[in-house]
Amino acid sequence: MEWYNYLGAFFAGLFLTNFVPHFVTGICGNPFPTPFAKPSGIGLSSPVVNISWALFNLVIGFVLFKKANISSGDSLSLIIFFAGIALISFFSAKHFAGKEKPKD
C-alpha cells in the first residue's frame, strides 16, 4: 500500500471514534462540546449540533476507511487505524474530563 493509504487509515480511526461521544450525547438530548461552541471545544453545543457534528465525522471516517483500503490482510493498516482510535480516545478522555466542573 502507498503511504497515503496509511495516513487515511489513521484519520479514519480518528473520525470514526470522534463520532461516538457526539452521537451518544446528542441522541440522549445532552449538550456536549464541539468545535462550534463558544469557546471552541470547551463550551457546550446543543444536541442537534452534536448530532450534526457526529454525522459529519461518520461520513468522513467512512470515506477515509473505504479509500484507505483497510483490510484484515494488511496488519500495518489495521495497527495504524487502531492507533488513530487510541490517540483520539485518550485525547478526548483527558480533554473532556473536567467539562462539568465549574470554571473559576
Percentage of the chain lying above the pLDDT 70 cut: 93
Hey, what's the cell of 50? 452534536
φ and ψ at residue 32, rounded to 5 degrees: -155, 150
Domain boundaries, the chain: 3-91
User: Tell me, what's the pLDDT at 53?
Assistant: 97
pLDDT at 104 over 60: no
Q: Show Cβ contacts of residue 79 under 8 Å, excluding neighbours closer than 6 positions.
A: none
For residue 50, what pLDDT is reported?
A: 97
Beta bridge partners of 32: 45
- Give CA–CA dist 48/99, Å, rounded: 19
Report pLDDT digits (tens) over 54-98. Answer: 999 999 999 999 999 888 888 999 999 999 999 999 999 998 887
CA distance 37 to 98: 16
